[in-house]
Amino acid sequence: MTAIMDFIGVLDNFVWGPPMMIMLVGTGIFLTIRLGFPQFKHTSYALKLIFKGALKKDSSEKEEGEISPFQALTSTLAATVGNGNIAGVATAVAAGGPGALVWMWLTALVGMCTKMCEATLGVKYRIKDKDGAFAGGSMYFIQKGLGQGWLGWLFAFFGAIAAFGIGDAVQTNSMALVGNSVFNIPTWLTGAVLTFLVFIVVVGGIKRIGEVTEKLVPTMAIFYILGALIIIIAKINMLPWALGEIFKSAFTGRAAFGGFAGATVAQAMRFGVARGIFSNEAGLGSASMAHAVAKTPHPARQGTIAMVGVLIDTLIICSMTGIVIVMTGSLETGLTSTALTAHAFASVLGGVGGPIVAIGSLLFGYSTIITWCYYGQQCARYIFGPIVVKPYAWLFVIVAFLGAIAKVPFIWLLTDMLNGAMAIPNLIGLLFLSGVMAKELKDYFSNPELLGR
């Protein structure tokens, strides 16, 4: 078993190593230039569409599809706004220094364009399957757009397995540990409750997932952001210093202090880029599956909405975590992961700080699980057809409980590797279909009738 773990560890390090980081960011830069910097041109328009969707005034909901454009966005946010926003950012800042946040922000800016392309192509090449349900995502645009079915199959294979770990067992394991350490709840009890809550949502498919996430995601995001804002306002005098430290250490590194090791510019860049990609999943292709089934009059319209997901996940929520950690001086504790974030919140909010982080962790983890079940189902559907959708959901629910009560290092390592491997076929598809994407974008934004809907 040790030899297998070592082998998978080598593969995991390769998949998530510097070459992959360069490929992911490089693809985002290429697409940004190729498409004329759409994330800077069209974000305000996208925010207007999202606001209309939140108020149920989006006329595109009358189009063919499974869920509303706003529900598609909240479903993908449910998958990306997870424990990585709390524990992952803390780990990145602890290892790479405050400067990691700058590289995380830069990665997110180019990732907005990548996410736009994934969603647009997902809608353009979606299908209506034998059971009458819409299906789409990277595997479909790779097959139909490039004519490379084997490459689409690889993406689906990686995703169908990765979902059981990265989006299921690993999440319930983290949530059970948080519940036990903060609220002293037995892990089996957390597992049982989570299993029931996951079951009642995922058995209803993407429509029920969309109905839940459109209420859950805004609520949990506002809950966490308000807690962070209270801290920032309470220590507003420290904000200029904190921002100065963040930008200075991004380009000069962080000096050692209090017996703790410093961080180089290379470390800040490495951990910042990795955290940005891990958090918003731009380039991995996962979000294309939910956006693909949105009710929309044009593929590029949904793509425009999709890019805001990166802004919310990384540029807002992850930033809140990082800034609070830096400005409270919590880095000097030597803590990392959720413990570091909890310390930062508790240092200002006292006894309610830890519970805010814990509740945020539980809500973020739960939202991730329900959407990743759908991602896994879509990947399995591509390989086996509609017949596998319900059995997959049942198995997913069982794994959710097992993850809460068992140690999952092997599952974590295997699925983390497969999750990263999804990026390879996805990036190939994005690069070779960039011309198609450019035409879709031009067609939409040159049509006043579509823009006015």
Q: What is the pLDDT of residues 396-414, one digit of tens each?
A: 999 989 888 877 667 767 7
| Separation CA 129–CA 92 (nearest Å) | 42
Kindly state the average pLDDT of the residues 361-370: 85
| Separation CA 206–CA 217 (nearest Å) | 15
Residue 91 token pair: 């780990």
pLDDT at 256: 43
Q: Answer for the pair 309, 280: CB distance below 8 angstroms, yes or no.
A: yes
pLDDT at 184: 84
Q: Looking at this protein, which amino acid is placed at residue 336?
A: T
Mean per-residue pLDDT of the chain: 86
pLDDT at 418: 81
pLDDT at 260: 44
Higher-pLDDT residue of 293, 264? 293
pLDDT over 50 at 133, yes or no: yes
Taking the model in full, what pTM does it have? 0.90
The answer for 270, left when phi > 0, alpha when psi is -120 to 50, beta otherwise, is: alpha
pLDDT over 50 at 217, yes or no: yes
Residue 259 burial (C-beta neighbours within 10 Å; 0-12, 13-18, 19+): exposed
Residue 185 token pair: 């709840």
| Separation CA 269–CA 337 (nearest Å) | 18
Kindly state the average pLDDT of the residues 212-216: 88
Helix axes 434-445, 18-34, angle to 10 degrees: 40
Q: Which of 11-20, 258-267, 274-283 has the lowest mean pLDDT?
A: 258-267
Residue 274 token pair: 């990795």
Please name each of the domains of the chain with its CATH number: 2-251+263-446 (1.20.1740)
pLDDT over 70 at 393, yes or no: yes
pLDDT at 91: 81
Higher-pLDDT residue of 365, 39? 39
The beta strands (E) that lie in 18-175 are given as 127-128, 134-135
pLDDT over 60 at 258, yes or no: no
pLDDT digit string (tens) for 30-87?
Answer: 999 999 999 999 999 999 988 887 767 776 767 788 888 889 998 888 888 876 777 7
pLDDT over 50 at 257, yes or no: no
| Separation CA 127–CA 52 (nearest Å) | 27
Q: Answer for the pair 17, 424: CB distance below 8 angstroms, yes or no.
A: no
| Separation CA 370–CA 79 (nearest Å) | 8
What backbone phi and psi angles, to 5 degrees, belong to 336? Answer: -150, 175
pLDDT at 306: 95
Q: Cα–Cα distances in Å, from 278 out to 24, 87, 163, 170, 231?
A: 11, 12, 14, 14, 26
| Separation CA 120–CA 164 (nearest Å) | 26
pLDDT at 408: 61
pLDDT over 80 at 382, yes or no: yes
